[in-house]
Structures are given as C-alpha cells and as structure tokens.
Amino acid sequence: MTRENWVSRVGFILAAAGSAVGLGNIWRFPYVAGEGGGAAWIIVYLLIVLIIGYPMMVTEISLGRSSQRNVLGTFKSLAPKTPWWLVGALTVLTSVVILSYYSVVAGWSLSYVFETALGNMGPGVDFEDAFFGHITSVWPPIIWHAIFMLLTVGIIAAGVVKGIQRWVQILWPVMGVLLVILLVRALTLPGAGEGLGWYLIPDFSQLDAGSFVAAIGQAFFTLSLAMGVIITYGSYLAKKEEIPGSGGYIVGMDTGIAILAGLVIFPAVFAQGLSPDAGPGLAFITLPEVFAEIPWAGALFGTLFFIILSVAALTSAISLLEVSVSWLIDEKNWTRIKSAVTMGIIIFVLGLPPTLGYSVWEGVSFKPVAPDLLDFYEFLAEHVFLCVGGLLTSIFAGYVWGAKKVQDEANSGVAEGKFKIGNWFIPILKYVIPIIIAVILILGTIEIIWPEILPWDPV
C-alpha cells in the first residue's frame, strides 16, 4: 500500500497548526499566564518558544519526513538495531494517555456548548456549582467523552487526506471567524481597558524560577512536541516540501491564537470585576459568568466560545489518535478503520478512570503528585512522559542521528534564496535544548516531592 502524503504544503501546515492549537491555547495558556502574572510571563514564554519550541518543531518534522514512517518506525529506521525504538514506543504511549483525559475535558467543553445555547448558563446561576455539578455526575461526562471520541475516530478512519486534511481545512476558518467576533465583543465591553493593561504591560517583579518551568511545560504541550505527533504528521510530508518556513507558520499560528485567546478573555474578566488568576476553572467557571453578564446575547457569545474550544480540541485530538493508528497501520499491517476503532475504544476506556475520579472514585488521590485521577494522568503524561520523551528525542536527534543531518534534512527542499536553517541550530539542538529540559525535569520532580526546598510556589 502506498503511503499517503498531504496534498499540499498548506494542508500540512493547517493540520500541524490544528494539532498545536487546542485546549492548551484557549483553556490552559490564559490561566497559566494569569497565574504567572500576565505580560512578563508571556515574554518569557515567547523567548522559550523561539529558542526551544521552533528548533524542536523543525527537528521533529525533519525526523518524520526523512523516515516516511510512523514514530516507532522513524526511530527504528534512523537507528537500526538499537534500543532507540523504545523512545518511539514511549511517545505512542504518551499520545494515548494524553488523549484519554484530553477527551474528557473536551467532552466538558462540548456539553457547555449545549448548556450555554439552551440558556442554562444565564445570569443568577452559581457557576461553580454548575461546573462541579457536571463533572461530579456519573453519566453525562462519560457520554460527552464518548461523543468526542466518536468524532475523533470518524475523522481518523477517513484517512490523512480525506479525513484530517479535509476537516482541518473546514474547521480552521470556522474557528478564526468565531474568534474574531468574540475579540471585537470583548474589546468593546465597558471596562475592558484595565484587563488589556494587565495583560499587555509587563511587571517583571512577578517572575521567578517557577515561571520558567511553567513556560517550558506549556511550550512543549501547546506545540504538540515530544509526543510523536509532529514526527507522524511530518512523515506524511512529501520530500520535495520545505520545512523551515512551514515550522515557522505552525509555531507562529499556535502562539498567535494563544495570545488572541488571552485578548478575548482578560478584558472580559476584568470588565466583570473578576480575578484573572482563577486557575483551571477560568474557562468553565469564570468565563460563563462573564458571558452571562454581557449585555445582549451573552448566551450567543458563550456558545461561540465553547464551539471554538471544542473545535480546537478536536483538531488536536485527531493528531493524538493518528500517532498510534499510523503505528498499527505501518508496523502491524492493520487497516486504517480497524486501527482507528480499536484505539478509539481503548482510549475511551482509559478515559473512564479520570472521569469517574470526580464521582464514584472521588476518594482516590495520589498525593503529593495529584489530588485526583485526572490530575494524576496529567501528571504522568505532562510532567513525566513529556519531559523524558522530549529529552530523549532531542538527544537522539542531536547525537544519534546527528544535528548536522537534521539541519541538512530540514534544508532539503528549500528553494534557492528562501529561508534556511543556519548553523546556530547545531549548538541549540545539541546543548541548549537537552540541558534546559533536564533542568526542568529535575526541578519539576523536586517541586512535587519536596516543594519546601524551592524558593517559589509550585505552579
């Protein structure tokens, strides 16, 4: 069977940027920025995206395009007869675990589309009660998680071009237009200026070492790095397509949407006199309250917001599912449909514990690492697997395959006179990235098991 390729470079960029833009941008970025102190933290974050995020993006695309195989096959073919394929296996596992709880949160978002549209989120509702009422009920979150997984499986079963590429080309414009409508509404709310000031004027006294840890974790997660996703998507890129510019677009679109999401959220939050550092509840508790109070058509804007959130989550979820599906297709010769359905069922079942962790298994906790099952999954995936996977991928690319080979692969296909990856890339990939990730891994571990010795508050 011949392997599919993206039909165009734009198709690849939209798919990879669709993977990158997700809950991480619209739900997580604003609350992490809110807790981190606003503009000053965002500047740190931008620097990290530039120094680590972009080079890693180029590296992963190059690894995938060079091998034209799934992520396990990539490690196997670039370093045959070595145990490096285990890193590929780790990233497949990470993508599966992440999708299992990602789909649960995406399910909450889907349910909020309907609750808001039906007018159940109007003025006078206790939004905290409404949110906890939803997640602590047994069946509704499971059913929404199932619906979200069904949509994801449906798109992946249809294939790279007819499924992924076609749907991202439909969903991107939907998201873009809705976001602009929300932006105009948010910026014209009375009192929006204060939020804008808080968001855009840096106060560097807010920063500490913990801000850097949070910024790096956020950068990897939101750019879909270290999870096999970008390697897999890169493997569907034809050899003739260029990489440095595409990587730039993907990173730029991801960063742009995150910043836009903050521009929608903070003016609205301040206009209502609410606090910007509400944490994970920002999207599901604070924002519905904000929308309820918006003069005329609050329900409409609330519904739009949750549609955007759900669409962004869907284009990320398909990329997570594609990692294990492409492994089954390439290495086990399964059909695409059988792979998508099987993995979909496994991931749905894996997502049950984090859902039930708020209802029937409410007492289950993993202190000190996580207060409940969903946090525990998140801890495993984002703090352990993601950092270890990122570290090993960068060592593999920099030393085993070789930084020079990555640079050459990245530059092949670039037309004369167009932007190429320069020699600055080599020390960044060999030294800067692995050292920074290793430090984060160590600090992150201390933060969890022995937070007292750190001079900052855990994020």
The residues that touch ligand PHE, with contacts defined as CB under 6 A, are 19-20, 22-25, 98, 221-222, 224, 227, 229, 316, 319-320
Tokens 């260029």 sit on residue:
242
CA pseudo-torsion sign 393, 395, 401, 403: positive
| Of residues 67 and 316, the one with the C-beta less far from ligand PHE | 316
CB of 152 to ligand PHE, least distance (A): 11
Token pair in block for residue 40: 């000053």
| Of residues 229 and 380, the one with the C-beta less far from ligand PHE | 229
Q: How far is CA 291 from the centre of its chain?
A: 25
| Of residues 23 and 433, the one with the C-beta less far from ligand PHE | 23
| Of residues 39 and 57, the one with the C-beta less far from ligand PHE | 57
CA pseudo-torsion sign 123, 279, 190, 113: negative
What residues does 366 pair with on adjacent strands? 370
Q: Which ranges of 137-224 would DSSP assign to H, the alpha helix?
A: 139-157, 166-187, 192-200, 209-222
| Of residues 281 and 402, the one with the C-beta less far from ligand PHE | 281
CB of 316 to ligand PHE, least distance (A): 4
| Of residues 25 and 67, the one with the C-beta less far from ligand PHE | 25
CB of 315 to ligand PHE, least distance (A): 9
CB of 384 to ligand PHE, least distance (A): 15
Give the CA distances from residue 90 to residues 58, 135, 302, in Å, rounded to whole numbers and listed in that order.
Answer: 20, 30, 38
Half-sphere exposure of 256 (CA within 13 A, CB side): 11
CB of 19 to ligand PHE, least distance (A): 5
Compute the distance between CA of residue 90 and CA of residue 71 in angstroms, rounded to an integer. 10
CB of 225 to ligand PHE, least distance (A): 8
| Of residues 320 and 459, the one with the C-beta less far from ligand PHE | 320
Residue 380 DSSP symbol = I
The closest alpha carbon to 104, from 42, 149, 53, 39, belongs to 149
User: Do residues 299 and 117 touch, judged by C-beta distance below 8 A?
Assistant: yes
